[in-house]
């Protein structure tokens, strides 16, 4: 699936819930299914700055597509990063760099996060795109 298609799928899923408690429950479930980062990559270098809880993200390039693993000490944060990883893992760096992230506004995620968490979300997206830019240069 393309990034756009996955984003539409997530928007559909979020629209099925009646209220934000249910959406939080869903995000917590997503957080529990997050592909966990290998312990060796849980370094200070991999901590995303701008998040109030600690978040680590690691990227691997294989056959021209990126795969991401991550972890956080807060479960809702893990849910947020899980959503992002579902969108961007398995995609070509060029597509990641060019992708828009309007789906976050469509599901209302940003406005339902505290300002500190919303900043953290922006930082996570920025970090994922930075990985894509870095790995893009390795692809001929």
Partner 1 sequence: MQKTTLDIQAIRKDFPILSRTVNGQPLVYLDNAATSQTPKQVLDAIVDYYSGYNANIHRGVHTLSQEATDKYEQARIKIQHHFNAKLAHEIIFTAGTTHSINLVANGFSSLLKKGDEIIVSALEHHSNIVPWQMLCERTGAVLKVIPMNLNGELELEAYYKLLSSNTKLVFCNHVSNALGTVNPIKEIINAAHNVGAAVLIDGAQAAPHIKADVQALDVDFYVVSAHKMCGPTGAGMLYGKEEWLNKLPPYQGGGEMIAEVSFDKTTYAGLPHKFEAGTPNICGGIAFGAALDYMNAIGFDAIASYEHELLEYATAELLAIDGLKIYGTAANKTAVISFNVGSIHPYDIGSILDKLGVAVRTGHHCAQPIMDFYGIPGTVRASFSFYNTKEEVDILVAGVKRAVAMLQ
Which of 3, 34, 51, 80 is labelled catalytic? 51
Q: How many residues bind partner 1 (CB under 8 A)?
A: 18
Binding flag, residue 53, partner 1 (CB under 8 A): yes
The DSSP annotation for 78-118 comes to HHHHHHHHHHHTTB-HHHHHH---THHHHTTTGGGS-HHHH
With beta carbons less than 8 A apart as the criterion, state whether 61 and 137 touch.
no
CA gap 69, 138 in Å, rounded: 20
Catalytic status, residue 51: yes
Q: Closer to partner 1 by CB, 2 or 116: give it.
A: 116
Q: How far is the CB of 2 from partner 1 (least distance, A)?
A: 31
Residues lying near partner 1 in the complex (CB under 8 A) are found at 19-21, 24-25, 28, 52-54, 73-77, 112-114, 117
């Amino acid at each position: 699936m393309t990034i756009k298609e996955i984003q539409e799928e997530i928007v559909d899923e979020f629209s099925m819930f009646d209220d934000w408690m249910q959406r939080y429950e869903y995000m917590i479930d997503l957080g529990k299914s997050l592909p966990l980062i290998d312990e060796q990559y849980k370094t200070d270098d991999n901590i995303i700055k701008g998040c109030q809880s600690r978040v680590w993200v690691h990227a691997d390039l294989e056959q021209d597509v990126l795969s991401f693993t991550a972890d956080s000490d807060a479960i809702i944060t893990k849910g947020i990063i899980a959503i992002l990883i579902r969108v961007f893992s398995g995609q070509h760096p060029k597509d990641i760099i060019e992708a828009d992230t309007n789906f976050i506004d469509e599901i209302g995620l940003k406005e339902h996060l505290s300002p500190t968490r919303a900043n953290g979300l922006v930082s996570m997206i920025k970090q994922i795109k930075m990985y894509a830019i870095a790995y893009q240069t390795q692809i001929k």
